[in-house]
Amino acid sequence: MISSYMIELRKILDRYPTSKLNSFWLKNLFLVALEQLRDSLEEI
């Protein structure tokens, strides 16, 4: 379950090179990933 989120996150990061990203965008992406992870853990 957790690894699938990491794979999706990697796909997104591969699509957008980190050199073109700012910290605000990365922070938002990280918060969204954490929220999805929390929701999936609550379902278990």
Structure tokens at 22: 């700012």
Q: Confirm if 12 and 29 have CB atoms less than 8 A apart.
A: yes
How confident is the model over 14-39, as pLDDT tens digits? 777 666 667 777 788 888 888 888 88
pTM of the model: 0.46
- Say if residues 9 and 33 touch (Cβ distance below 8 Å): yes
- pLDDT for residue 2: 66
Kind plus residue range of the DSSP H or E element containing 33:
helix 23-43
SS3 4: helix
